[in-house]
Amino acid sequence: MKKWETQEWWEKRQWTEEDVEEMWKEERERLSQQPWFEPGKPCRYPIFQERDWEDEFERNWGKWGAQGIGKLRKVSLLRPPAFEINPVFEKEPAYYRIYGNRVADLDKWRKAFDEYVKVLEGEGVEVIFWDVPESPVGPYGFVRNINCTYLLATKAGIIVPRPAMAGWMQPVRWVAEQVMKMGCPILYMMHGKECGEVTPRYIAEHSVIINEGMTVNREACNKYKILLEELGDEVWVAHTPGPVDIWGFPSSGCSHLDWVLEVVDLGLAVVFPPFLDFSTIRYLHDKKIRLIEISPEEYVQYGANFLLIEPKKIILPAAAKRLIKTLRKEGVECIEIDFSENAMGGNGGPACITGRLLRDPGPSLDDL
C-alpha cells in the first residue's frame, strides 16, 4: 500500500512536491487509459451513459453470481448460534417448524457445521461468515433459522427476500446488513405485496426453476422471474404444496424448492415428486434431464437438500444412504456430512444453510 492510500497520511497533511509529482504521475497513467479523459477538457460523461452496467460492476463490486452449475467458488455461512436452541420453540413446534419436536443439540450441530466448513475449504471454496444478530428477538418475536441464509447471488447482486413466516426467518434488515458487509451489492429488495424466500434451482448455466408456494407468493415469484430473465436466465415456475392446519410429514408440505429438486450433473437431478407439480416433472423430461427419486424416509432427513460443488460432486446428509448408493453408480462423488441434528431441529440441509455467492461458468442445456 502506498503512503497516500492511508487515512493517516492525509490527516498529517505533510506531503512534499515530490509526493505530489509521484501521485500525479500515477494518476495520469490511470487517466490515459480511460476513454472519457482528454487533457484540459471536462469528463466525457455521455460515454458513461452508453456503457453497459457490466463494464462498471466488477471494478466496483468484484465478482459475484451463481447462475448455473459450474464450480462453486464462494459461499456465505452462519455458525449455528445459541439463539437456535431456544426452548420456547418446543412449545409451538408447528409454528416454528421443529420436525422432531425438539431443538437441536448445539454441540453436535456445531461439530457437524465445522466439519462442513472444512470440506468446503478443502474443495477450494471461500467461506464468508455472517455475524450473529445482537438479539434473538426480531420484529415479530424470537427469530428462527437465522442460520439459513437463503441467498443466491446473481451476477448483478443479491435479491433480498421478504420473509413469509414471521416466527421462522431472520429480520430483513439484518440480512441486508450482512449482504453489504460482504461487499456484495443488493440488486433488489422485495416490497409491495411481494413476499417470499425464493430458492432458485439451476439445472444448467442460465437455466433455472423457481417456485410459487407456501413461502413465495405470486407477486414475488413474478418479480423474481422478471429480474432473472433480465440477467439472461431462462426461467420455469414450479408450484409446491404447503399445509393448512395439520403439522407433520407429509401434511407440512414443502416450503422451499431446494427440498425437492437438486441437480447433481448436467442432465441429472434428484427429485421428490410428491411435492413437485407434474408440469415441472414434464418440463425436466423435455429438457432431457434424467430424474432420480428420493424415498420419503430419506427425504425427511434432508436427503434431497444438498450442495453442488461442481458437476458430479456434491455434499449431502449422510443419512441418505440409498440415494448415495444410487448416485455413486452414476459416477457422482458424494461427500457425506452428518446433518442429523439439523434434520431433527428443522434447521436445514446443506443447500438451506449455504448462500451460493460465486460459481465459475458451467455447462448449458445446449451441451446435452
Task: Name which of 131, 147, 136 is nearest 88 in CA terms.
Answer: 136
Same domain, 39 and 77: no
- 172 in a structural domain: yes
Please report, for the domain that includes residue 311, its CATH number.
3.75.10.10
Same-domain pairing of 43 and 105: no
pLDDT of 168 above 80: no
On whether both 303 and 157 belong to a single domain, the answer is yes
Is the domain of 332 the same as that of 202? Answer: yes
By the 10 Å C-beta count (0-12 exposed, 13-18 middle, 19+ buried), 39 is classed as exposed
Q: What is the pTM of this model?
A: 0.92
User: Does residue 263 belong to any structural domain of this protein?
Assistant: yes
Give the mean model confidence (pLDDT) for residues 110-117: 95
Residue 145: per-residue pLDDT: 83
State the CB neighbour count (10 A cutoff) for residue 164: 18
Average model confidence (pLDDT) across the chain: 92
Residue 296 located in a structural domain: yes
Report how far apart, in Å, the C-alpha atoms of 83 and of each of 87, 256, 339, 340 are. Answer: 10, 22, 19, 19
Total domains present in the chain? 2
pLDDT of 22 higher than 80: yes
Give the integer Cα–Cα distance in Å for 267 and 247: 35
Query: Which domain does 46 fall in, by range?
Result: 18-51
- In terms of domains, do 200 and 102 share one? yes
- Residues 218-268 have pLDDT tens digits of 999 999 999 999 999 999 999 999 888 888 888 888 888 999 999 999 999
Tens of pLDDT, residues 333-348: 999 999 988 887 788 8
* Tens digits of residue pLDDT in 288-303: 999 999 999 999 888 8
| CA 158/CA 161 separation, integer angstroms | 9
Q: Are residues 133 and 43 in the same domain?
A: no
The model's pLDDT over 316-326, given as tens digits with 9 standing for 90+, comes to 999 999 999 99
Cα–Cα distances (Å) from 329 to 190, 244, 333, in that order, read 42, 39, 10
How does pLDDT run across 52-83, given as a tens digit for each residue? 988 889 999 999 999 999 999 999 999 999 98
Report which secondary-structure segment, H or E, holds 32: helix 17-32
User: What's the CA gap between 219 and 194, in Å, rounded?
Assistant: 5
Residues 223 and 271 reside in one and the same domain: yes
